[in-house]
């Protein structure tokens, strides 16, 4: 326990992230600190079977001012299910909670926050690959983030 507290303090000091923001509602729900949205998990009925999961999520327009990200933008959340899966209905609501968000405003931060929250909810490593279409700039941004749970 003390080793975890030391590690949490170190990570918070290095990254500027306040570990107290991480809130677990119960064993099957995680409350995202940035939006208050709930990510639910469902138990893997066969955890001894190697199961790799990929959630391909089409992103809505998140910024009403810039209209970014543009059509065709997406996230892919990949992980090996060790004991649980992300519940798809709550994942959709979680992503919608970022529409017009006052803090998570850039696409790179969105990918990082999604990786962090999914890793926390599942309790193990996840990889988030994001493709952001920025038509007003004539650009496509690809971002890949590996998230690991803080505890």
For residue 83, give the H/E element and its range.
Answer: none
In the prediction, which pLDDT does 26 show? 60
Whole-model pTM? 0.81
Q: Is residue 52 part of a domain?
A: yes
| Domains held by the chain: number | 1
Q: Is residue 76 part of a domain?
A: yes
Q: Is residue 48 part of a domain?
A: yes
Eight-class DSSP state of 112: H
How confident is the model over 20-70, as pLDDT tens digits? 344 444 678 999 998 999 999 999 999 999 999 999 999 999 988 888 999
In the prediction, which pLDDT does 54 show? 98
Q: What is the CATH number of the domain that holds 97?
A: 3.30.1130.10
How confident is the model over 75-115, as pLDDT tens digits? 999 999 989 999 999 999 999 999 988 888 788 999 999 99
Q: Using the predicted structure, report yes or no on whether residue 133 has a pLDDT greater than 90.
A: yes
Q: Is residue 31 part of a domain?
A: yes
The residue-averaged pLDDT of 114-118 equals: 97
DSSP string, 14-72: HH---GGG-EEEETTEEE-TTT--EEEEEE-S-TTS--EEEEEEEPPP--TTT--S-TT
């Amino acid at each position: 326990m003390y080793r975890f507290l030391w590690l949490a303090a170190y990570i918070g000091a290095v990254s500027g992230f306040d570990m107290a923001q991480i809130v677990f509602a119960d064993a099957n729900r995680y409350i995202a600190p940035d939006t208050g949205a709930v990510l639910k998990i469902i138990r893997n009925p066969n955890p001894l079977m190697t199961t790799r999961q990929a959630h391909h999520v089409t992103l809505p327009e998140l910024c009403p001012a810039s209209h970014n990200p543009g059509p065709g933008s997406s996230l892919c959340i990949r992980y090996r299910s060790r004991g649980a899966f992300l519940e798809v209905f709550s994942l959709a609501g979680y992503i919608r909670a970022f529409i017009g968000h006052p803090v998570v405003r850039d696409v790179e931060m969105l990918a990082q926050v999604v990786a962090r929250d999914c890793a926390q909810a599942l309790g193990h490593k996840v990889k988030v690959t994001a493709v952001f279409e920025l038509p007003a700039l004539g650009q496509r941004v690809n971002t890949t983030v590996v998230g690991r749970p803080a505890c």
